[in-house]
A and B are shown apart, each in its own frame.
Chain A
Amino acid sequence: MKQTFAIAIGGAAGQGVATPGDIFAKIFSRRGLTLNAYNAYQSIIRGGHTLLTIRTGPEPVTNMGDRIDLLIPLNQDTMDRHLKLLTSGASCLYNADTIKPGVAADGVQLCPLPVSELADISRNKVAQNTLAIGAGLHMMGIGFPALEEVLREQFKKKGESVVAENIGVARAGYDYAARHFTAFPNPLPKTEKRYAVLSGNIAMAMGGAAAGVKFYCAYPMSPSTGVLHWMAAHARKAGIMVRQVEDEIGVINMAIGAAHAGVRAMCATSGGGFALMSEGLGMSAMIETPVVVIDCQRAGPSTGVPTKTEQGDLWQMLGAAFGDYPRVIAAPLDIADCFKLIPEMFNLVDRFQCPGLVLCDLLLSEGRLGVDPEDLDFNPVIDRGELITSVNGNGASDVIATNGGYKRYRITESGISPRAVPGVPGHIHTAATDEHMEDGVLISDEFTNPIKRRAMMEKRMRKVAGIEAAVAPPKLRGPRDAEVTLIGWGSTKGVIEEACEILNEQGICANQLQIRWLVPLHGEAILELLRNARHTIIVENNYSGQFARYLRSETSFVPDGNIRKYDGEPFMPHHIVEAVKEQLGGKTNLSVPVHEIMV
């Protein structure tokens, strides 16, 4: 089993849960530990209940895990909700002045901090948080200077006296823990590695910048807003035009306008905003102007649960906009992949001149992961496809000129027609959402023409084969002849991976097929991989098995069982492990694990 350590900090929104979280995350990552953070919260600015889980360790930590080692409740509500989750070996650090502990399980250490004795609470409103950080750090076996360094950075803008005050309070907590609490048996290790800690939203925004996105626009919508925030804050240094638009209809159309002028344009939203963008995607496909849209899925339908995760937008993506048209859909597998996928997606949509959809979800968008900075490559391959601009001296324009006039929608074998942008002499054309001929002239109005309509439809749809050839089919991870094959897509990669490890340790040989490219799906290749699988189970975060239905529609493949979760919270490894055992034991072929953490 992986050696990891998990802290959970809980309180009401506005009580300062985020700051201790950030401080711990910095200390861990600078110690060369990777980490995964997940914040369970609600759509409220003050009040409610927030629980931040940070899990760290020397090996890759890909999900929140099954166990809390240290619980820091900042209010009574958190104590009441979560003390019962702690098992032998865990500890709970709390303010003895304001919070009463409940009954803890055997082997759980209750660590009351006499906050008013240790700090001047009239001066420092978050003294309990700072004391708990200091105390917790001691119990993890980390030296105080690591905390001092981070506190200095955190408070330096507020002046030396605030820095000194906070270091003093943290020290008091650290020393108090040394005298009164039992430290965890294994001090947190240290490695020579260094990690960047970032959310999926930041990763996608940075991935966009790396891909050469020059135009980003959005309407704020949880959980996608983090992309807008990063873009807005870094726009000037990255040379990106960032606009906040009146609605998502405006967003998609503005992005397509910018893309049509020749820049790489991107936008992000969640399910509701994506619904408004639908007609725009059809335009992108019809005028063959590439654009990338990110959908950070949240629990639906409708306003749904804005702060909770789900993989419920797959069929919205597959069916977005009417008519048939080529599109690319991919779901990033983890936060590092959120970065890496964006340049790949832009290269595809630039080459094939169609919309590209990134199907992310709240779990990745707002979760945080320690990522090797080498994986944040700002010099990825950039392939803009057959683009004719006035500035790049693309030889394609000469070829076309000698072929007797430029035709924007020239019928080609690949279906790809060289794309000139406005401003280039000699390439004037109108890009129309009406069906048009090779030269852009409409065939929809005065004289429709079935022969020409068919030719244009086939031209566009020929790009589908090219897209499929440009993307690698998925691979099976683990032994080929495993007892059980777990199939997932997108953000469940890490948790399924860990469930497989646990199953293997328990003597059940498991392997994993994780899908990143949803369109193109590579149905034949998937069938080939699953043909000899002994027992197949699809794991996904939605009610109806959206991927299972999609896979069946494309391949006729029906799995032996399904594990689904649609309570707004992500899978924990043990949910999958227990469900697999249940299904292998023949008890059911549909498991819906119960989320035991009340958030």
Chain B
Amino acid sequence: MATGVQRANQVTLADLKGRVDPDWCPGCGDFGVLAAIQKGLVELQIPNHNVVAISGIGCSSNLPGFINTYGMHTLHGRALAVATGLKLANHDLTVLVTGGDGDGFGIGGNHFVHTMRRNVDLLYIVMDNQIYGLTTGQTSPTSRIGMKTKSMPFGNIEAPVNPMSLALAAGATFVARGFSGDQKHLTDLIKRGIEHKGFSFLDVFSPCVTYNHDNTYQWYRPRVKKLEDDPTYDATDWTAAMEKSLLWGDEIPIGRFFERTDVPTLHGAEPVLNEGPLVHGDLRVPPDAARAFIEELM
């Protein structure tokens, strides 16, 4: 996302504190994600008026209201489509899209796939808690088989989506996974995702302490293994990333799975934007072009 990054002096955590405090349940994983985003923006020193946080609907999608940047709290599942339009209209802005697993992989699944293949230059953070929280505990697209919820009281019989494999297959140019319980590592991934030129996907294990009693902090802690701790792991190797994406169980990899920098961003590939962001351009069609448009009809 480096094109949009504008560095300035003196961006502090206080600048990024939202007008209201988060209303998430005490202990919710999303607090850790919000804090890591704020830290990442401070460390990158991006002025808050040049950042737009865009979300869909759900517990985690309330995040734009809790951070002092420009924000859009859109419709359930539609944040990526809105973000694509916004980024194309003003590619100088740093765009963060935040939401949950139901929002992104369920109702928004179509936009998820297409935004990745377009390589829209933004960071998409999914606070993945494997449950629908705001609707009080139903099965989500990432709920594991057997998980009992209000909507599947006898246990889920549908295979979960694998966001990491899906992102790799759909052509995401930056694919990473974090854990809300590891702030420093998560902050680092957010920074790298913002700096990546292209679509950055960051799936974050963000435990729901109220409705998901299977995938808790205690469940994750012994399982998550940082890819960064393995010196032989090569994040430019797509096949290796795909193999890592399939691991689940006693060992669950987190970290930067994959990154490639040779694919143009959507806004970079479009010559109409050569003159700069659309929002700063002249509204009028050049007179000679207008004349030619009419002439071809005569």
Contact = CB atoms under 8 A, between A and B. Distances in A.
Interface of A: 29-30, 194-198, 202, 206, 209-210, 212, 214-215, 217, 234-241, 243, 245-247, 249-250, 253-265, 279-280, 283, 287, 373, 376, 378-379, 382, 389, 391, 421-434, 439-442, 445-446
Contacts of A249: 78, 81, 110-111
Nearest to A247: B110
Nearest to B117: A246
B72 A378 contact: no
A283 B85 contact: no
B90 A423 contact: yes
Contacts of A376: 294
B278 A214 contact: yes
Given A198-B297, A241-B88, A423-B49, A262 B73 contact: no
A256 B49 contact: no
Contacts of B86: 257-258, 260-261, 422
Given A249-B81, A423-B49, A287 B283 contact: no
A422 B19 contact: no
A431 B73 contact: yes
Contacts of A214: 89, 278-279, 281, 283
Contacts of A243: 84, 88
A241 B71 contact: no
Given A215-B89, A283-B78, 16 more contacts: A209-B285, A214-B283, A235-B272, A236-B271, A239-B282, A239-B285, A243-B88, A254-B82, A257-B83, A260-B85, A283-B75, A376-B294, A423-B90, A427-B49, A430-B64, A441-B19
A257 B89 contact: yes
Dominant secondary structure of chain A at its interface with chain B: mixed
> Which of A29, A283, A382 has the most B CB atoms < 10 Å from its CB?
A283
B226 interface: no
A237 B280 CA distance: 17
- Interface footprint category on B: 35 or more
B241 interface: no
Given A210-B290, A241-B272, A373-B298, A254 B85 contact: yes
B52 interface: yes
A425 B69 CA distance: 10
Contacts of B75: 253, 279-280, 283, 433
Contact of A426 (B49, B64, B84): B49
B89 A432 contact: no
Nearest to A215: B89
Contacts of A373: 294, 298
Contact of A261 (B69, B90, B289): B90
A373 B294 CA distance: 7
Nearest to B73: A432
Interface of B: 19-20, 23, 47-50, 52-54, 57, 62, 64-65, 68-75, 78, 81-90, 92-93, 110-111, 113-114, 270-273, 275, 278-287, 289-290, 292-294, 297-298
A275 B65 CA distance: 30
B292 A253 contact: no
Contacts of B286: 237, 239
Given A29-B298, A254-B85, A430-B64, A261 B71 contact: no
Given A197-B298, A253-B81, A257-B85, A423 B72 contact: no
> Which of A214, A217, A247, A280 has the most B CB atoms < 10 Å from its CB?
A214
A261 B93 contact: yes
A257 B82 contact: yes
Contact of A262 (B54, B88, B89): B89
B111 A246 contact: yes
A432 B281 CA distance: 27
Contact of A194 (B72, B88, B298): B298
A430 B294 contact: no
A254 B72 contact: no
B290 A422 contact: no
B279 to A, nearest CB: 4
Contacts of A429: 70-71
A378 B287 contact: yes
Nearest to B92: A423
Contacts of A217: 85
Nearest to A422: B70
> Which of B78, B87, B113, B287 has the most A CB atoms < 10 Å from its CB?
B78
A283 B75 CA distance: 7
Contact of B78 (A238, A240, A253, A263): A253
A259 B85 contact: yes
B111 A423 contact: no
12 contacts: A197-B297, A214-B89, A237-B292, A241-B273, A250-B81, A253-B111, A257-B82, A265-B89, A279-B75, A430-B71, A430-B72, A442-B65
> Which of B85, B110, B280, B282 has the most A CB atoms < 10 Å from its CB?
B85
A237 B294 CA distance: 13
Contacts of B68: 428
Contacts of B282: 239
A264 B89 CA distance: 9
Nearest to B69: A428
